[in-house]
Amino acid sequence: MEKVGKEEVMGILTAVEYWAGERDDEADYQRMLRELNAISDRMTCIKGVTTVVHERRDEKSPTPRIEIKWPSKWMHELDFRERLLEGEPRVMLDDRGAREGRVFIIPFSLQDGEGARVGQAIASVLEREQESGGDQTSIVRQ
């Protein structure tokens, strides 16, 4: 069994206190919407790509998210995820909710201004696929 230092305990306590009391839920929600809109704005010039920002707020889905769709012949969603990991900046997507030709992004861990960088990384991958017509090598379809 490992010992836990008092610094770690105090760090966890501080985080829980912030999360439970000092956090401004509405400000966080608006910040996440701004980041999602920055991602969406970057997709508007890519023919064949559509985005929908889902703003629904309820107990099951308290966080806004963006759905990005592209023609399924371009690439498998797992290829998309892999190409984002290989790019610069590296973008890690959760593949839950990914379906043929679409992904959902929840901006929970994005900081101010990162939506534009993530949008640029996503656009770069999608633009390459658009130009190649989906002829790039697939890690999934081999």
Secondary structure, 3-state, the chain: CCCCCHHHHHHHHHHHHHHHHHCCHHHHHHHHHHHHHHHHHHHCCCCCCEEEEECCCCCCCCCCEEEEECCCCCCCHHHHHHHHHHCCCCCCCCCCCCECCEEEECCCCCCCCHHHHHHHHHHHHHHHHHHHCCCCCCCCCC
Please state the pTM of the whole predicted model.
0.79
Residue 84 — very low, low, confident or very high, per pLDDT cuts 50/70/90? Answer: very high
pLDDT greater than 70 at residue 89: yes
Residues 86-95 as b or e (16 or more Cβ within 10 Å = b):
eeeeebebee
| Ordered structural domains, the chain, with CATH | 25-132 (3.90.1150.180)
Could you report the per-residue pLDDT of 110-134, keeping only the tens digit for each? 999 999 999 999 999 999 998 887 6
CA distance 20 to 125: 38
